[in-house]
Amino acid sequence: MFALFFLLFSIKTEFRPVSKSAAGQGADLLSDPMFYAASIPAVLLFGIAKGGFGGGPGVAAVPLMALVMSPVQAAAILLPILCLMDLISLWAYRGKWVLPELRTLIPASMLGILAGTLLFGYMSAAAVKLIIGLVAILFTSHYWLIQRHDSSAAAGYIARGYGILGGAAAGFTSFVAHAGGPPISMYLLRRPLDRTQFVATAVVFFAVVNYAKLLPYGWLGQLSADNLGASLILAPFAPIGVGLGVWLHNNVSDRWFFRFVYVLLFVVALKLISDGLRGL
């Protein structure tokens, strides 16, 4: 996976989504109905995913928003909202996480965040769209493959050491597009965890990762006044989404929810891959 990312980042087109010209588009973005049509469902979906399903389906949020804005700007707008969601989710799942898994995953994720920070200047808009689309395709393919097994145990557990790879990959993809769900899910779903332990462990992991990303995002100019203003407007939908996710986790089977999200994610991923390939 990392080899693919480094190949894409060999494209030396510098991409600064918060330049003066881009920053001037903030008011236009907030007056565009399509911004709300894409962003409100994205925030709700991410909240539902974070509050009830370990954050995995939330990988669809940035691709949805990337249909109407730069994918990097979409990630910047979402980060403060995700930090708010993390606080709510931590309270909802307090004490239910598995610390040994976190001791493996969190240090590895810091390496991924560092790699994303150092490589940020080499990311073109097309490359980011292509990465997000490919990660989304990988995640949907993994999900449908898992559905062919009766349980995660049927597929066989993997050693905790693989959490180093999963954590590093999740830190990197989370930095690029808040898409850390795929590598973390592909690891934790193959560990001996029940449903609540899986979600709670993912909640703590992404809370640490998201708050750690605030410093490099700010250093890279991502947390501009325009982006923070958009975050503030969308913030009220964060607790609504998380609350819905917790309720669904406790009361509703996740089968149909997952099927709907992954079909949607697959379609959006194909669009992003197409756009990314045309822009290379």
pLDDT at 152 over 50: no
How much is the pLDDT for 147?
67
How much is the pLDDT for 264?
66
| 103-150 confidence digits (pLDDT tens) | 999 999 999 999 999 988 777 767 777 877 787 787 777 767 766 655
| 186-209 confidence digits (pLDDT tens) | 788 778 887 788 889 989 999 999
Q: What is the mean pLDDT of residues 166-174?
A: 89
Please give the Cα distance from 153 to 190 (Å, whole number): 7
Task: Say if 13 falls within a structural domain.
Answer: no
Task: Say if 154 falls within a structural domain.
Answer: yes
For residue 245, give its domain range: 20-279
Task: Say if 8 falls within a structural domain.
Answer: no
How much is the pLDDT for 11?
35
Average pLDDT, whole number, for the chain? 79
Task: Say if 262 falls within a structural domain.
Answer: yes
How much is the pLDDT for 121?
76
How much is the pLDDT for 204?
95
How much is the pLDDT for 43?
93
Please give the Cα distance from 205 to 84 (Å, whole number): 14
Q: What angle do CA 43, 45, 51 make, to 5 degrees?
A: 100
Please give the Cα distance from 43 to 59 (Å, whole number): 11
Task: Say if 15 falls within a structural domain.
Answer: no
Closest CA to 154 of 126, 192, 106, 196: 192
Task: Say if 6 falls within a structural domain.
Answer: no
pTM of the prediction?
Answer: 0.75
Furthest-apart CA atoms within the chain: distance in Å: 53
Task: Report the number of distinct structural domains present in the chain.
Answer: 1
Please give the Cα distance from 61 to 265 (Å, whole number): 9
How many other C-beta atoms lie within 10 A of the C-beta of residue 144? 12
Task: Say if 196 falls within a structural domain.
Answer: yes
DSSP at 60? G
How much is the pLDDT for 190?
76
> What tokens appear for 49 in the block?
């995913």
pLDDT at 77 over 90: yes
Task: Say if 3 falls within a structural domain.
Answer: no
> What tokens appear for 60 in the block?
């669809």
